[in-house]
Amino acid sequence: EVQLLESGGNLVQPGGSLRLSCAASGFIFNNFAMSWVRQVPGKGLEWVSGIGSFGGTTDYADSVKGRFAISRDDSKNILYLQMNSLRPEDTAVYYCARYPRRVPVAGSRLDYWGQGTLVTVSS
Amino acid sequence: QSVLTQPPSVSGAPGERVTLSCTGSSSNIGADYDVHWYQHLPGTAPRLLIYGYSHRPSGVPDRFSGSQSGTSASLAISGLQAEDEGDYYCQSYDSSLGNYVFGTGTKVTVL
């Protein structure tokens, strides 16, 4: 059974940093591209970032480009999201999700999701 | 703001059929990028419901069906059940933004 378990969410001050983790199990992690998607409380979903298998390609939403960095440790089956220069508008539940392929291409779906971890940016 | 527009809410009695719309433009749905639908029930992880407009992953009941026409897509839920209450999102890709995009979301209420 595919399982994705996010952790690392916390309360952080504006301008601060936080690293999210997503532990994957139930599938061959390095065969799949992965993604982060967030949901502001009471709002819709927003794609944040994606990474190809073996970390070959990375991509970011304009809203986080230059501040967030996605990475993966295939030896530990863990996906990361390093978030720097955090802003109040980054407050959201962050989900990790799997693409059903090695490289995220335009039009790709996300076939498995975790339950999310809450990041709150506030002073 | 999302480039895919969904009605904020849809409701129906148990057993009824409801249809959720997802309206895009020529740079996403109209550009032939696939549309996918997700179900997000309270307290659970989002779940892929329909992919590539009309395909169901294994385990998804055939009460759920998808279609597309022009710059819009639709999700139909037949035989509405209480367990279907939750939020539903469409998703595609937008060539102008160069990003994956989600719809604004529709809350389904079973009366």
Q: What is the pLDDT of residues B10-60, one digit of tens each?
A: 999 999 999 999 999 999 999 999 999 999 998 889 999 999 989 999 999
Q: CB–CB of B45 and A114 under 8 A?
A: yes
Mutate to test the interface with A, among B2, B58, B96, B100 (most CBs of A within 10 A): B100
| Band of pLDDT at residue A112, cut at 50, 70 and 90 | very high
> Which residue in the set B46, B57, B97 is minimally distant from A113, CB to CB?
B46
Give the mean model confidence (pLDDT) for residues B84-102.
Answer: 94
Please name the member of B33, B34, B89 whose beta carbon is closest to the beta carbon of A44. B89
Distance from C-alpha of A109 to C-alpha of A33, rounded to nearest angstrom: 11
User: Does the pLDDT value for residue A21 go beyond 90?
Assistant: yes
Band of residue A40 on the pLDDT scale cut at 50, 70, 90:
very high
Q: Is A1 on the interface with B (CB under 8 A)?
A: no
Q: What is the pLDDT of residue A55?
A: 77
Could you please report the per-residue DSSP string of B15-71?
T--EEEEEE--TTTGGGT---EEEEE-TTS--EEEEBTTTBPPTT--TTEEEEEETT
CB contact under 8 A, B48 and A46: no
Considering only alpha carbons, which residue of chain B is nearest residue A93? B45
Closest approach of B103 to chain A, Cα-based (Å)? 7
What value does the mean pLDDT take over residues A87-105? 95
Q: In B, which residues are within 8 Å of A108 by CB distance? A: 93, 100
Residue pair B106/B76 in contact (Cβ under 8 Å)? The answer is no
